[in-house]
């Protein structure tokens, strides 16, 4: 019997001007693939066929001190730049990589809660598969502030 995956075993990494970044403190991520339907209805046959196939992904996390991801993704969106995003299986180091248009980026600052971000992106072109030699580093361990 196979071992089930946990959500934290799949992470996203984004290529920005600083290189391949693993956003600190990712709390959620999802990929959605959908296809338009073309209905066929002639004298000889009826049925459905594939129309346009699209892929969207979303990524959420906690805004963390020292994480340049938030600023660099926001800058890329303002500059209308496409970014490479990797979906990484941390068990196998297998990754799916694609060029994405950033369709939404939201920062939320709710009183009493962590400050968070949410990124939405649409695939431009095709995905490629590769195996990474290492998984990008995430957030460093938190240290309690010291008081003098």
pLDDT band at residue 143 under the 50/70/90 scheme: low
- CATH code matching the domain that covers 7-37+48-131, chosen among 3.20.20.70, 2.60.40.420, 3.30.70.920, 2.30.110.20: 2.30.110.20
Whole-number average pLDDT of the chain: 90
**Hey, where are the domains in the chain?**
7-37+48-131
Angle at CA 44, nearest 5°, toward 41 and 46?
A: 35
Among 51, 16, 37, 34, CA closest to 122: 34
Assign 5 to helix, strand or coil: coil
The residue with greater pLDDT, 1 or 11, is 11
Q: Helices H, strands E: what count in the chain?
A: 1, 8
**Residue 133 exposed, middle or buried by CB count within 10 Å (0-12, 13-18, 19+):** exposed
What is the residue whose two structure tokens read 């303002």? 78
């Amino acid at each position: 019997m196979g071992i089930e995956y946990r959500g934290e075993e799949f992470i996203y990494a984004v290529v920005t001007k600083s290189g391949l970044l693993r956003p600190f403190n990712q709390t959620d991520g999802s990929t959605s693939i959908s296809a338009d339907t073309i209905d066929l209805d002639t004298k000889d046959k009826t049925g459905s066929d594939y129309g346009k196939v699209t892929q969207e992904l979303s990524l959420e996390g906690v805004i963390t001190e020292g994480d340049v991801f938030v600023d660099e993704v926001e800058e890329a969106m303002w500059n209308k730049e496409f970014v490479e995003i990797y979906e990484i299986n941390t068990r196998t180091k297998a990754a799916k990589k694609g060029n994405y248009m950033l369709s939404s980026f939201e920062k939320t600052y709710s009183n009493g809660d962590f400050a968070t971000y949410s990124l939405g992106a649409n695939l431009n072109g095709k995905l490629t598969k590769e195996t990474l030699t290492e998984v990008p580093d995430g957030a460093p361990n938190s240290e309690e502030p010291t008081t003098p």
